[in-house]
Amino acid sequence: AGIRVSLFIEPSLEALAAAKEIKAPVVELHTGAWCHAIEIGETEKAEAEFARLRAAAAETERLGLECHAGHGLDFDTARKIAAFPQIVELNIGHFLVAEAVFIGLEASVRRMVEAISQGRGA
C-alpha cells in the first residue's frame, strides 16, 4: 500500500536480517537494555550492549536499512549514541516530556538538541 514501516527491534544481526527479508525500509534499534544497564551501574553489561548497538547500526548500513534508535535515552546516552553515523533519528519523546516537568519543555528540547549536536561532533 506504499506505507513506510519501521520495525522496533533488538540490536541483533538476526533481527536485522529478518527486517531486511520482509523488506522493512526502517528499523529502530531498542536501546533500553543499554540504558537500563547504565542506570543500575552494570558497567560490563552496558559496554556489551553498546557494542551490540554499534554492530547493529553498522549492519543497517550494509543491508541498506534506515537506522533509528530509542528507548530509555536521556541527555547523556543520546549524546553518546548520536555519534553513530548510521543513525538518522533518535526517539526520545518520553524523556523530553518527563524532563520538562522539572525544567520546562523548551529547555528540555534545547538541551537535547545540544546533546545530540555534541554527539554528532557539531
Residue 23: other Cβ atoms inside 10 A: 8
**Structure confidence at residue 122 as a pLDDT band (50, 70, 90):** confident
Give every CB contact of residue 45 below 8 A, 6+ residues apart in sequence: 33, 37
pLDDT at 2: 82
**pTM for the whole structure:** 0.93
Q: Per-domain residue ranges for the chain?
A: 6-119
Q: What is the pLDDT of residues 67-87, one digit of tens each?
A: 999 999 999 999 999 999 999
pLDDT digits (tens, 9 = 90+) for 82-121: 999 999 999 998 999 999 999 999 999 999 999 999 999 9
6-119: CATH homologous superfamily? Aldolase class I (3.20.20.70)
Residue 47 has pLDDT above 90, yes or no: yes
